[in-house]
Structure 1
């Protein structure tokens, strides 16, 4: 397994899909010129719109999606792998929050639909109900890169360790959670969650992010990250402005980390016993 340079592209996607594609494409070109052979974009690369009706008016099905079409051409032109963190695509009367891996030949090599829906009321008054708009996926995905195996996930999935554990057990050396983390949750949890998933699985985490105040009024945290299998942040955009970062990925470091801390090999099945002390005492 040879080393390669990976990049995260950080965006501030708005409502205009064409403008989002233009900014994203420019940053991918810059990352490729800096030596990146694998470039990841954030969740909702194509558009960020809070209104369900407005979102449905702007997006298309996978076959007609402008972002996929343009980035497939760009992957072929630049000869790089592009991991579209996710886009919103029509899926029947709902929407799929779906990521795509594009090969240097411009083909769709893999796709993954976000499994976990962010349905929450935050203390600052923000309320999100992704399940009202999006159809959740049902399958975790691992796919091949020339250098390593990539596990695909999206944003809120990072809070559900079982996905990443199973991907690691099935051979993934690189894990990912491209995101549009809210500022509030990002400030509290973004770094620790990314590092935790890397450490507990002895794997790289590559997670491009949305950042800043968006046209629809939301605020996202930014701070795109690449974390190595020992939990060290080896690349970060330490702000919420659009941009890109690069870092060298050394797939053999995964094997070294898993030898030093063989948590996957040492894992055992177990059951949970509930002992109700208070109830027994009352009886």
Structure 2
């Protein structure tokens, strides 16, 4: 199956970001991609909650979601919107970080809200408290597509192997990890963690990523790591996009899933245990 990962360098302007994303989706579709994936926070990267409140929208009103649904229908493709930052009806005003799988008729096939919040102190100069602005999801999701069941995750979820094992045990053969990874943690852990999740589950792991310095006219800018990856079920890195924004194509042979799981059936061999 011909698949395309979009590597983006979005700003804090959703309308400007949408124009670039649509152009990349069209490029990928015209090149024959049947399944196209965008990275985390496709619509807006901002370090300012005030600015986010001024530009983000609720799901029903979001311009990026509406336009990408239309694009999927126009080209008859499967489209994973890695995630969108969206307003919610929560009393505390926190946003959702929500992934969407869009079918070739433009319908929303599945939604997933990021479960694990990036509340970390990477260094004295780099601290993050994602839970202050975003509320966590609570429901793991395996979406049904004709080419494979897809387990949905987002960014920091990557560090939690039990989630990925649960998705694989529920039938997932593809795990998606759209991201906007920190350059520091990305350089240290991105490749290793993605390979580990593929090896542990015998799944393809598809990880479209944000990259570079993200422009803002309103507040402190942010940098992300890039290196959108496709990891095969045996753990080989099938594609590494490096750091340049663009469209990156690959072919998925879903037969590799059963081959990898047949060689090391770790999902079947897992046993409950007591302690420690």
The corresponding residue for 2:184 is: 184
Alpha-carbon RMSD: 0.9
Q: Which runs of 5+ in 2 are unaligned?
A: none
Kindly indicate whether residue 241 of structure 2 is the aligned counterpart of residue 244 of structure 1: no
Residues 13-60 of structure 1: per-residue CA shift (max 9 Å, x gap): 101111100101111111112221000000000001111111011111
Residue 124 of structure 1 deviates from its aligned partner by: 5.3
1:254 and 1:201 mapped to 2: Cα distance?
A: 9
The alignment's TM-score, normalised by the length of structure 2, stands at 0.96
Residue 101 of structure 1 deviates from its aligned partner by: 0.5
2:124 and 2:105 mapped to 1: Cα distance?
A: 45
Kindly indicate whether residue 146 of structure 2 is the aligned counterpart of residue 146 of structure 1: yes
User: 1:1-283 alignment to 2 at 5 Å?
Assistant: 4-92=1-89, 93-123=93-123, 125-216=125-216, 217-239=221-243, 241-273=244-276
Q: Which runs of 5+ in 1 are unaligned?
A: 274-283
1:74 and 1:18 mapped to 2: Cα distance?
A: 15
* SS of corresponding position for 2:123: coil
Give 4+ residue runs of structure 1 displaced > 3 Å after superposition. none
1:128 and 1:265 mapped to 2: Cα distance?
A: 37
1:207 and 1:122 mapped to 2: Cα distance?
A: 22
Residue 193 of structure 1 deviates from its aligned partner by: 0.6
Query: Which one has a bigger Cα radius of gyration?
Result: 1
- After superposing the two structures, state which structure 1 stretch, 140-149 or 152-161, moved more: 140-149
2:95 and 2:123 mapped to 1: Cα distance?
A: 27
* SS of corresponding position for 2:57: coil
* SS of corresponding position for 1:220: strand
* SS of corresponding position for 1:105: coil
Residues 138-193 of structure 1: per-residue CA shift (max 9 Å, x gap): 01100111111000000000000011101111110000110000111111111111
